[in-house]
Structure 1
Amino acid sequence: MLDRRHWSGLRLRQAGLSLATLLAPLSTWAAPQPFQLQNDSGQALPGAAVIVLVKGARAQATPGTVADMAQKDKAFVPRLRVIQTGSAVNFPNFDTVRHHVYSFSPTKPFEIKLYAGTPAAPVVFDKPGTATLGCNIHDRMLGYIHVVDTPYFGVTDANGAVSIDIPPGEHRVRVWLPAMGETSAGIEQPFKAGSDPIVIRIKP
């Protein structure tokens, strides 16, 4: 039979083990990582896709993941949408005129004929790459859906900045802009996660 001191010590050791088990995942939790994109003159680069490649990260989106690519004022909003492979995209039309959205890109060729409101079914993007979007009625409308095999991504704001929650460690960051063209995968560089902004300069 265990005496009281032995039993108390055992309970403390068990409690310590349980606490350690509970705290272990904290070291791998994601933390905000700021990125700053600039051109070679140091000017901010807005509207750029920033993708963080983390070893072991899941490639496919969680089932049921849905994003929106709206049409408003005869434009795609946002102009660039980044999604994870396997995500579905709705194309709501907020204009008073009908649109005819399409893409001929190998990443996801599709067509949604003249419609108002929101189409009945979203479009599933099941492989990585870039789909360039257009409208058969309004030729000036142009948009992009950039599909990536990672859950860590974002788009730079008007100041060329974006913050992405990522796990600690050494990773690679990839940058893609519409000016690079849909056949380009973008540019990559290694980095180590931390609180300081990662400044990336893009040459034209």
Structure 2
Amino acid sequence: MIKKLLVVVLVLLTWSTPVLASELTVTVTDSGSNEPVPDAVVYLDRIDTLTPVTAEIYQKDRAFHPTVLIVPVGSLVEFPNRDNTQHHVYSFSPAKTFNIELYAGKPEAPILFDKPGVVELGCNIHDRMRAFIIVTDTNAIGRTDAEGRITLATSAETGPLTVNIWHQRLPDNTRPVERKLDNLVAQTLTIDLAPKPETDDAINLLQQRFREL
């Protein structure tokens, strides 16, 4: 009888013990200049249950707003045109390929982003227009502040972690870079960044890839 009672108590304790919440703080710096990197998207390599949203990237003054959007997988994104000129929005990224041909106003239907990954946007009419959508399947995600710092909620029982870091000036900005961490100690992670462009070469390359499809 005593043994059975002990077993019941242990089971109840197991059920009632919460998963200890913890935090991971990282600072992202540029390996070339050692300067902090603001607006880097940082997220853990894990899958959570997320609620899709409806968001928008609008076109105004021949530019996308915002230039970087983070949405949960399964979300819908609208692309309203608030310019007086027409736009032709497209993406041929593996995470989502679509083509909204020349239009004014608001397209009839939003675009469903049903796969995680980095989606690069362009306009086939205006070469300078460029934006990115980060489609995520984790809620442990955010952007670094002006000091290149971010704190993500995690679990004390998670163990080794894979941290993904994305920035639009990565040499290959079609995917994040990975960093393996053995613990939750606050630390600095470095990434390689291309210099800030003085010309529109990167955007022209995007246009060239579109026209070669």
Mark yes or no: TM-score above 0.5: yes
RMSD over aligned Cα atoms? 3.2
Alpha-carbon separation, structure 2, partners of 1:161 and 1:94: 34
Residue from 178, 189, 196 that aligns with 2:180: 189
Deviations along 1:165-189, one digit per CA (max 9) or x if unpaired, are 3333432211122223254442222
- Please tell me whether the aligned partners of residues 162 and 178 of structure 2 are also in contact (alpha carbons under 8 angstroms): no
- Please tell me whether the aligned partners of residues 120 and 174 of structure 2 are also in contact (alpha carbons under 8 angstroms): no
2:158 is equivalent to residue 173 of structure 1? no
Residue from 140, 153, 159 that aligns with 2:147: 159
TM-score (norm 1): 0.71
Secondary structure at the residue paired with 2:93? coil
The one-letter code matched in structure 1 to 2:104 is Y
Q: Which residue of 2 aligns with 1:202?
A: 191
Q: Which residue of 2 aligns with 1:8?
A: none
TM-score (norm 2): 0.68
Residue from 127, 136, 140 that aligns with 1:148: 136
Alpha-carbon separation, structure 1, partners of 2:65 and 2:182: 31
Q: Which moved further from structure 2: 99-108 or 160-169?
A: 160-169
Q: 1:159 to 1:98 in 2, by over 3 A?
A: farther
- Please tell me whether the aligned partners of residues 45 and 160 of structure 1 are also in contact (alpha carbons under 8 angstroms): yes
Q: Which residue of 2 aligns with 1:51?
A: 43
Residue from 104, 109, 116 that aligns with 1:121: 109
Computing the radius of gyration from Cα coordinates, the structure with the larger value is 1
Alpha-carbon separation, structure 2, partners of 1:39 and 1:74: 30
- Please tell me whether the aligned partners of residues 102 and 133 of structure 1 are also in contact (alpha carbons under 8 angstroms): yes
> Which runs of 5 or more structure 1 residues have no equivalent in the other structure?
1-16
Q: Which moved further from structure 2: 65-74 or 35-44?
A: 65-74
Q: Which residue of 1 aligns with 2:124?
A: 136
Q: 1:122 to 1:95 in 2, by over 3 A?
A: same
Report how far residue 81 of structure 1 moved: 2.1
Deviations along 1:14-55, one digit per CA (max 9) or x if unpaired, are xxx999966x33x444x554332101232011232211124x
Deviations along 1:91-132, one digit per CA (max 9) or x if unpaired, are 23344443221112222111223122x434221112222221
